[in-house]
Amino acid sequence: MADEEETEVAEEGQDGMLGSLGDAGGGSNERILDQTEIDNLLGFDLAQDDSVERTGIRAIINSALVSYERLPMLEIVFDRLVRLMTTSLRNFTSDNVEVSLDNISSIRFGDYLNSIPLPAILAVFRAEELDNYGLLTVDSNLIYSIVDVLLGGRRGTAAMRIEGRPYTTIERALVQRMIEVVLQDARAAFEPLTHVTLNLDRLETNPRFAAIARPPNAAILVKLRIDMEDRGGRIELLLPYATLEPIRKMLLQQFMGEKFGRDNIWESHLASELWTTQMEVRAVLDEQQLPLRQVLELKKGDTIMFNATPDSTVELRAGTVSLTRGRMGRRNHAIAIRVEAPISPSAASALREFR
C-alpha cells in the first residue's frame, strides 16, 4: 500500500511539472513589451530633444563622442556669433531680425547627413588657417523667407513653399549672399581667439555631395534660429573636430573678459626680455670635410689649407642658422666684420618663429 501511494504521488508531481513546462512553452504567461518600453530600453526616443542625456544602447554608441562642454570657449564664440548675426542680418534684409542659439551638441557626421530635412541648401566652406572644411545648412523655410523679404514680399504673410522643384538661380544667388554674411560674422566671432578666414567653396542640394569628413567622425553641431516677424527658419553650422584640432588648446581656455584669457602684462614682459636676450654669433671663414683618419692623425704644427682668400666673404651664423655675409677687417685693435648683405629670408622666418 505504501509503495502504491508513493507511486501515485510521483506521477502527480511529474504531471504537474510537465503541465507547468507546457504552459511556459505555450507562451500563455509571457509578457510582450510594447514599442514604448522597447524604445526606453534601447535608449531611442524620437520625442526627446537633442539636449536630453541619452540612455541605453544609444548612450553606449555615443560614448566615444567628445562633449562640446570640454571646449568652454566654443560657447563664448557662438554667443558672439549670435550678436553679430543679429546686427548684420538686420542690415542685410532691412527687416527686424532676431537670431537665437537653440543648442550646441556633438554628433557623428554620417548621422547628421542622414538627418538633414530636404530640400535644403548646404554650403561647404573652407577654413584657410585651419586647413579644413565646415558645413552650413539652410533649411527650406529660411530660404523662402529670405527670398520673400529681399524681393519685397508683403508683411504678415507666410513665405510660400513650393515642393517638388529645385531651387532657381535667383534663389541660390540670394541665399549665397546671406551665407557669405554669416561666414563673415563667424570669422569676426573667432577673431579675438584666432584669425580664421572662412571662404565659401560650393553650394550643394544633395547631402551626399557635401561630404567633408568620414561618417564615423565626430563634429560640433550648432543650431541657430532666425525669426523675421512671422517668417524665419534655421541655420545649422557643423564643424568637424578635425577642423577645430589646431586651436583646441585655445578652446580649452576659461573665458576671462573680452581678451579671451590673454595676459597683456606677461606678453609685454616676454617681449622686453626677448629684446635683451644675448645670442652668440659666429663668423665662419671656411668649411672643409676631412676623413676621420686624417683628423685623428693631426698633431701640433700641421697646417690645414682653406679655400678662402683675403677678399672672400665671411658667413655669420647663429647656431645652425645662416644670418648674413660680410667682409673681415680690423677696427682699432679688434678683428671686425662689415655686413654687406641683408638678413637671409630663412633666418628672418626662424627669428619670427622664435619670437
SS (H, E, C) 178-229: HHHHHHHHHHHHHCCCCCCCEEEEEEECCHHHHCCCCCCCEEEEEEEEEEEC
With beta carbons less than 8 A apart as the criterion, state whether 68 and 74 touch: yes
- pLDDT of 349 reads 62
In the structure grid, which three cell numbers stand for residue 276, read together? 635683451
Q: Is the dihedral of CA 206, 208, 209, 210 positive or negative?
A: positive
In sequence order, the β-bridge partners of residue 315 are 284, 325
- pLDDT of 318 reads 82
With beta carbons less than 8 A apart as the criterion, state whether 316 and 337 touch: yes
List the strands of the sheet with 218-228, edge to edge: 98-108, 218-228, 231-240, 132-139, 120-127, 198-204
List the strands of the sheet with 321-331, edge to edge: 282-284, 314-318, 321-331, 334-339
Packing angle between helix 140-150 and helix 169-190, nearest 10 degrees? 100
- Distance, in Å, from the CA atom of 165 to the CA atom of 178, rounded to the nearest integer, reads 21
- Distance, in Å, from the CA atom of 84 to the CA atom of 126, rounded to the nearest integer, reads 20
- Distance, in Å, from the CA atom of 85 to the CA atom of 182, rounded to the nearest integer, reads 7
Find the DSSP H helices in the chain. Answer: 2-26, 35-42, 56-61, 72-93, 109-115, 140-150, 169-190, 241-244, 248-251, 264-275, 292-296, 345-354
Closest CA to 135 of 250, 243, 51, 249: 243
Placement of cell 563667424 in the chain:
186
- Distance, in Å, from the CA atom of 105 to the CA atom of 54, rounded to the nearest integer, reads 12
Q: Catalogue all structural domains in the chain, each as residue range(s) with its CATH number.
A: 68-259 (3.40.1550.10), 266-293+310-354 (2.30.330.10)
Closest CA to 254 of 78, 65, 75: 75
Could you tell me the mean pLDDT of each successive run of 10 residues in the chain, 355 residues long? 48 48 51 71 51 56 57 85 91 88 87 86 90 91 87 63 72 91 92 88 88 88 88 89 85 58 70 84 83 88 80 82 84 84 68 51
